[in-house]
Structure 1
Amino acid sequence: MTEHSPENSPERNENPTAQTLSGSDAVTLAAEQSKQTAHRNIPPLDFEGFPLEQDTANLRQGPSLHDGLLALLPLVGVWRGEGQANDHGEEYAFGQQLVISHDGENYLRFESRTWRLNGEGEPAGPDQREVGFWRISEKDEIEVTLTNSRGLVEVLYGSLLNERAWQLESASTIATETGPADHGPGKRLYGLMPNNNLGWVDERLVGGADGELVPYMSAELTRVAG
């Protein structure tokens, strides 16, 4: 197994989603977009006798969002779109569905599924799956744990850049024996764009501790539920 320690974490870059709408324009745009998504949610499991709250990706349905997560509130929803990847020189386009949900407790559930796209932009088979949880400590530090279907487990820490952008850096990246041992630590940035889509960028360190950050994956996602 390979593990990367916090001291190898990359330096923070400038925020590529810094452009923002005015407050009134953002509210107007969100209200218009919500006409298409406000009634949609992830389907409940509906197992009889289940004693806990069901996950919801719609803030209008289910349990109230925990007060400790208000700084992450804009992320809650179901998002879908397309992006680009560069995995050690292998470049390809992908589609993604990202579900960020909660059950009233002090964490968000994060579940991403991606699929390859061919040259015509049509689905060409599954790519990666990633599941995890987002939390915020008493020091207002974002804590994220992620498990990837390729055999990776990662812990990231981060902070709010502003009310529409969140930055994370790897603290520990561990690969299983069959996982990608050359998957270095990195940095992720999530942010609401001027059109209220969710953009994200993942950069990875290559060439060891003295290497450089290079683009790994990025996407622009549209809210489809919540």
Structure 2
Amino acid sequence: MAGVRQNPGLLIERTLSMTISLAPFANNWFFLLKAVWITVVISLSSMLLGFAIGIVVGSLRTYGGKWVDRILGFYVDTMRAIPLLVVLIWIYFAFPLAIGISVNVMTAAIAALGIHLGAYVAETIRAGLTSVRRGQMSAALALGMSRMQAVRTVILPQALIRMLPSLGSLLIFAIKDSAIASVIAVPELLRQTQVVAGKTFRPFELYTGAMLIYFLLCFPVARSVDRLYRRISFLGSS
């Protein structure tokens, strides 16, 4: 404090350094816009992969028998026990050494995010399926449906409605977790924000802008899922 009093120029310099400037966005808007698009692509792709894995694994763990449950349970427990960052780094750096084929950063990011997300989706699906009364399955079988038909047309639709809040949270996690892909140089939002911040020396504006963009990506998803659940929740009662 004494140094600032003795050197008024230092105080002025610090004040000026905190002046908000939108120049980094104006000069790099297309660069950052591409990064946002890549973030959306990674998020949507990992969601599709994760939900596909989760629905299959969750259904098989519920109706596939004891040994299927144990085998797939090992996958679920493994993914939930290993940090996503470790899974991502292993798929990008170690897995290519095992198969002898290089993996590009986008493929590695989508695979890691999707496989990791799939474990959580699987547990949510399994919880939803087991929440439906057993009489629903008995009634479907009595009508001549096969077990798989009963799951697909009777049990799963009811379970999905009940699971909407939890699945909505996983959708948001998928968007936020896409930022972890920056560690393997995927040109997504956080990575490109770091690049621009390093060139312009305006980290406050850029990282604040990145936070707002992630909020704008996640908030509509949360509100939309919540609104949808309020409208159709009665269909999941049995």
Shorter-chain TM-score bucket reads under 0.3
More helix by percentage: 2
Identify the structure with the greater strand proportion: 1
